[in-house]
Amino acid sequence: MQIVRTKISDLEGKVIGLYFSANWYPPCRNSTPVLVDMYEQLKTNGSNFEIVYMSSDEDLNAFNNYHALMPWLAIPFSDLETKKALNRKFDIEGIPCLVISQPNSNKDDATLHEGVELVYLLGHPSPKQKNGDNEDFEIVFASNDRDQESFDSSINTMPWLALPFGDPTVKELAKHFDVHGIPCLIIIGPDGKTVTKQGRNLINLYRENAYPFTEAKVELLEKQMDEEAKSLPRSVYHPGHRHELNLVSEGNGGGPFICCDCDEQGFGWAYQCLKCGYEMHPKWLMLPIVQLNLCQVSAVACGICL
């Protein structure tokens, strides 16, 4: 194997990915080809991105054979001090791990530990291929289906990508993002950082207006909801509940709640019966009449008699 040496100064001004990996660990062997594909695509497009391999291989021969599969640089196998120092600096707890550091910055927020997960999601071969190259948003389905038939049935209803059925990465991602229940939609931004783990709730509340799911966008939508709430009736009757429902905000009793109409989570404004704990989204009472049926119980438009 030909050894290529480079000066540290040659890496200045570049986005650097420190790839902590080892040949003996299957998840590393699975992620490396995906990372190679992404790296070569970025290089073809003239990206200012470089990767440095941080080996945990068992011996020099294993290191040489594994590094031969990689088109990027590596810390020498014998340089144990540098590898240990970088492991401590970035608090590496497991492999594979891709730590991405932005150029000319020592700030913590310029470092990304989720590189392997991001690259795997963006570059792993899947049953469906992305249509077009100009999409701003893409979804990747991480299945918890119990068998291949259920998985196939699920993916056939979805227009987006998917990790292969039974891929162990699904469990690794669930652990990494601390997923305790499904359905769950985690939003990752173009910089690779986690934007929010509340994607499902935001879409339920704001629909397509939730995009791009940033704090700034959510704050804007909350302000819009506050303005719209000024025109809502202070109290209403709903055929799904026998008591009067009062309009409440997050500051006076709204907060996070589960809508008794659609069973989805809501935030902020709600119609509430404090006595019974009955709460519902204002949208179910405020939908245009043409979207609702006439309730046979109270002769008013409601979201239950659909």
* Integer Cα distance of 127 and 155 in angstroms: 9
Q: What is the pLDDT of residues 107-153, one digit of tens each?
A: 443 344 444 444 444 334 444 444 444 456 788 888 888 888 888 88
Q: How far is CA 162 from the centre of its chain?
A: 14
Q: What is the pLDDT of residues 234-254, one digit of tens each?
A: 888 877 778 888 888 766 655
Residue 64 pLDDT grade (very low, low, confident, very high; cuts 50, 70, 90): very high
Span(s) in the chain for CATH 3.40.30.10:
14-117, 126-221
- What spatial distance separates the first Cα and last Cα of the chain, rounded to whole Å? 69
- For 275-301, letters b (16+ CB in 10 Å) and e give eeebbbbbbbbeeeeeebeebeeeeeb
The CATH fold assigned to 126-221 is Glutaredoxin (3.40.30)
- For 37-50, letters b (16+ CB in 10 Å) and e give ebbeeeeeeeeebb
Q: Which residues fall within 8 angstroms of residue 84, CB to CB, at 6 or more apart?
A: none
The architecture (CATH level 2) of 14-117 comes to 3-Layer(aba) Sandwich (3.40)
